[in-house]
A and B are shown apart, each in its own frame.
Chain A
Amino acid sequence: MAQGKYCNREKINTLEQLQSLLSDTNGKQYYKEMEDLDVDTELLANTIQKTLKQKSRIKTWLEICAHCGMCAESCFLYLANDNDPEQVPSYKIQSTLGEIVKKKGQVSTEFLIKCMDTAWSKCTCCNRCGQYCPLGIDMGIMFGYLRGLLFNQGFVPWEMKIGSGMHRIFRAQMDVTTEDWVDTCEWMADEYSEDWPGLEIPVDKENADILYTVNAREPKHYPEDLAEAAILFHIAGENWTVPSEGWEETSLAMFAGDWEACKLQVESVYDAMKRLNPKRMVVTECGHAYRATVIEGPYWAGLKSGQTPIPSFHYVEWVAEALRTGKLKIDPAKKIKEPVTYQDSCNYIRNAGLADCAREIMSYIAEDFREMTPNREHNFCCGGGGGFNGMGRYRKQRNAGLKVKRDQILATGCKLVISPCHNCWDAIRDLEEVYEIGIRWSFLKPLLIDMVIVPDHLKPQDEEDE
């Protein structure tokens, strides 16, 4: 069976394989080879038989869909593409996974490329359609399943294959090694200790109250985010730590449909929990990281309880709690005065029920908080979820998809958008770049640092002398 040098069914498990794939700029050769990549129809048929045909949920969904079209307008990509009927969620899944099942896996290379384009550029697995289907059919879940089938066949976007390979090799979505990570922690603690005497980023401290875990982009590209987290924990007087290994929460493997790598990734975090025995985990301001490690992860790891080994919290939960209990106090004079809106991330709001915490935070920090419409569990995907932000092949489609969020933000009249999720943050940054509507966007951490009252004993000595 024909397999390419770059595009094949092999999983990326070594640094050499990863570097080789990375050397193929933008996956040019990769996608060319994909056109000749054979479909392993036997594998496909077996997988469907084993996981789908015998299991009731997805099989039933495909069978009983009443073709009523009520999911159409629930999909931001349908709306963003001028109500294109080919963007109706039900159509997208029936014409891809539906066909594969109907044909018992006997499909062509060309068809699987079409499936790949649909699975990664026409669905962000935001699960909004599932909320609007009278029969309780969740197309987002089915697209997750389809992505898994496609990944196994090698029909996966270049960046996604690299991303899952990163997790397999580095247990992080980027090539951040344990050494890099620990160095960054030390460097940041050092860098900021002049302004924040006593500031620490404790690594591998046992029995701490909080185990803090992050998104690899933070140590890699904006380490100040880590410093900001440390400062806020410092002000709040938390007994916290970061693990030297198992510090990465994200899962590009989940976006890629590489379930094996998903398991490896979350197990590294769960191992850290067991090793260091903290009371609870707090995850940085990232949506998919939280969903991957806290919501879906226990199932990949085979934990019957469906729960992480210790209780796990998203950053917004910690912030809401810290403000509620007075661990962090906001200086009323420094509250956000201008109109401000909040981006509800699908992954921790629709998929984890954290809409209320977000509102609670806004009640403490903003004087003129304005909701987008719709909001909370009914909010639209930012346009960058499910890996959409990171794939060059689908840049055009991603940019088109940003329109719904752009219009939602414009309708609030706000110029500032708070977005405690990396993917939403990126999507909003990019929509400003593409559509120039004159907005700013921010994570919670930098805003909070500007607003909190710093207890005197934590202030630098010379400031007190002034």
Chain B
Amino acid sequence: MYEFVTGPLAWLSFMIFFIGVIVRIVLYIKGLDWQLDRVAYMEYKSYGFKGAVRSILYWLLPFGTRGWRYYPFFTTIFFVFHISLIATPVFLQAHNILLQERFGFSFITISECTADILTIALLAAAVFLVLRRIALPEVRILTTWYDYLVLAIAAAPFITGYFAAHEIGNYKFWLILHILSGELMLVAIPFTKLSHFALFFMSRAQLGMDYGIKRGGMKSKGMAW
């Protein structure tokens, strides 16, 4: 079982993830239409580029935009969630040992204690995100079962990983579940709302270009996000 999930299944899910994400990005760019979107993308590339970079950078920065500053509590939860979600698996020692063994390279690593803290922070943030969905009428009205499912898909590798790492219960069981849930997340990214992993950059860049080229970017300093 372990050989299967870390072997063919891992290859398959990584392939689906990488190809899927690339396809989504390519389709997005191909689907842009200067006349329908009413943005002269190709005519003013430098204004477009400036607008796009500005729009992405400001929103990647915690409290970098008025929107983020308006909701300080949510913003904190949001960044804790997303930073942990990406940093933990990429810089985890165990993952990097695997990388080194199989592919001969690895990233810098974080200590196990840091990984634990990030994992717990992520799970706590996930709980807050769920509570927020239930508590706030303006979020409740938007929420569907699908939002919870997507959140569960994102949180599952962390719960199972934590149990496996600390050998709570049956190590082998949690390990396999951890690998499976990680693979599920990878596969889900191109096909679900999790595609915002890549499409965030596309959509932000597009709106940034819209403001940079058309909505005043050529007549002012550009949109103050």
Which A residues contact B (CB, under 8 angstroms)?
51, 54-57, 59-61, 63-70, 72-74, 78, 83, 85-86, 88, 90-91, 94, 127, 130-138, 295-296, 298-299, 302, 304-307, 349-356, 376-378
- B30, CB-defined interface residue at 8 Å: yes
Q: Which of B28, B208, B215 contacts A353 (CB 8 A)?
A: B215
- B225, CB-defined interface residue at 8 Å: yes
**CB within 8 Å: A-B pair count:** 158
B206 to A136, Cβ gap below 8 A? yes
CA distance in complex: A376, B139 (Å): 28
Q: Which of B193-217 contact A (CB under 8 A)?
A: 193, 195-196, 199-200, 202-208, 210, 213-217
Nearest residue (CB) in B for A56 is: B31
Q: Hey, which chain B residues are within 8 Å of A63, CB to CB?
A: 193, 195
Contacts A67-B143, A135-B200; is A376 near B67 (CB within 8 Å)? no
CA distance in complex: A64, B194 (Å): 8
**What does the 1/0 interface line of B57-93 toward A look like (CB < 8 Å)?**
0010000001110110010001000000000000000
B216 to A60, Cβ gap below 8 A? no
CA distance in complex: A354, B33 (Å): 26
Interface locus among B34-42, B94-102, B156-164, B178-186: B34-42
CA distance in complex: A352, B199 (Å): 26
Q: Hey, which chain A residues are within 8 Å of B55, CB to CB?
A: 136
B214 to A295, Cβ gap below 8 A? yes
A352 to B204, Cβ gap below 8 A? no
Q: Which of A83, A88, A137, A304 contacts B203 (CB 8 A)?
A: A137
B93 to chain A, nearest CB (A): 31
A354 to B142, Cβ gap below 8 A? no
Which 9 pairs from chain A and chain B are nearest by CB? A353-B216, A56-B31, A306-B40, A353-B220, A136-B207, A69-B139, A67-B142, A85-B141, A299-B38
Q: Hey, which chain A residues are within 8 Å of B139, CB to CB?
A: 67-69, 72
B123 to chain A, nearest CB (A): 19
Nearest residue (CB) in A for B204 is: A136
A55-B31, A57-B32, A136-B207 known, 15 other contacts, Cβ within 8 Å: A56-B202, A57-B203, A60-B202, A60-B203, A61-B203, A70-B70, A73-B138, A85-B138, A88-B142, A132-B67, A304-B43, A306-B34, A351-B216, A353-B222, A356-B220
Q: Hey, which chain B residues are within 8 Å of A68, CB to CB?
A: 74, 78, 139, 142
A131 to B223, Cβ gap below 8 A? yes
CA distance in complex: A130, B204 (Å): 10
B195 to A350, Cβ gap below 8 A? no
A15 to chain B, nearest CB (A): 31
Contacts A352-B215, A352-B216; is A56 near B147 (CB within 8 Å)? no
Contacts A60-B203, A376-B224; is A136 near B137 (CB within 8 Å)? no
- B23, CB-defined interface residue at 8 Å: no
Q: Hey, which chain A residues are within 8 Å of B43, CB to CB?
A: 304-306
B142 to A135, Cβ gap below 8 A? no
Q: Hey, which chain B residues are within 8 Å of A86, CB to CB?
A: 141
Q: Hey, which chain B residues are within 8 Å of A65, CB to CB?
A: 142
Q: Which of B44, B78, B203, B205 has the most CB of A within 10 A?
A: B203
B87 to chain A, nearest CB (A): 19
A134 to B30, Cβ gap below 8 A? no
CA distance in complex: A73, B67 (Å): 10
